[in-house]
Amino acid sequence: MTASLEVPPVAVAPSELRGGGLLHMVQAALWFAVMGLFVKLASRTLPTMQIVFVRGAITLGIASLVLWRLGLSPFGGNSRLLLWRGLVGSCALVCFYAAVVHLPLAEATVIHQTAPLFTAMFAGWFLRERVTGRVMVSLVGAFVGVVLIARPSWLFGGGAPADPSAWVFAFIALLGAVLSAIAYVTVRQLGRTESPLVVVFFLPLVTLPLSAPFAVSVWVWPDAVGWLWLLGIGLSTQIAQVSLTKGLAREAAGRATAVGYLQVAFATLFGAVVFGVWPDGWSWAGMGLIVGCLLLAASQRARPASPTE
Q: Give the pLDDT of residue 88.
A: 94
Highest-confidence range of 62-71, 111-120, 137-146, 241-250, by mean pLDDT? 62-71
**Distance between CA atoms of 205 and 49, rounded to whole angstroms?**
16
Q: Give the pLDDT of residue 105.
A: 60
Lowest mean pLDDT among 12-26, 168-182, 243-257, 283-297: 12-26
Mean pLDDT of 131-147: 81
**Distance between CA atoms of 157 and 135, rounded to whole angstroms?**
31
Contact between 58 and 230 under an 8 Å Cβ cutoff? The reply is yes
Q: End-to-end alpha-carbon separation of the chain, Å?
A: 19
Q: Which of 11, 4, 17 is nearest to 249 (CA)?
A: 17
For residue 108, pLDDT beyond 80: no
Q: State the pTM of this model.
A: 0.73
The domain segmentation of the chain, as residue ranges, is: 18-131+162-251
Q: Give the pLDDT of residue 302.
A: 46
Query: 224-250 and 166-190 are packed helices; what angle lies between their axes, rounded to 10 degrees?
Result: 60
Choose between 299 and 191: higher pLDDT.
Answer: 191
Contact between 134 and 296 under an 8 Å Cβ cutoff? The reply is yes
- Helix, strand and coil content of the chain, in percent to the nearest 5, comes to 75, 0, 25
**Distance between CA atoms of 58 and 293, rounded to whole angstroms?**
35
Q: Give the pLDDT of residue 56.
A: 92
Q: Which long-range contacts (CB under 8 A, 24 or more apart) does 97-101 make?
A: 97/48, 97/49, 97/52, 98/169, 98/172, 98/173, 98/176, 99/169, 99/170, 99/172, 99/173, 99/176, 100/48, 101/48
For residue 14, pLDDT beyond 50: no
**Distance between CA atoms of 38 and 92, rounded to whole angstroms?**
19
3-class SS letters over 206-224: HHHHHHHHHHHHCCCCCCH
Q: Kindly calculate the radius of gyration of the chain based on its CA atoms and give it in whole angstroms.
A: 19
Chain mean pLDDT for the chain: 79
Q: Give the pLDDT of residue 304.
A: 40
Per-residue pLDDT band at 303 (split at 50, 70, 90): very low
φ, ψ of residue 223 to 5 degrees: the values are -85, -175
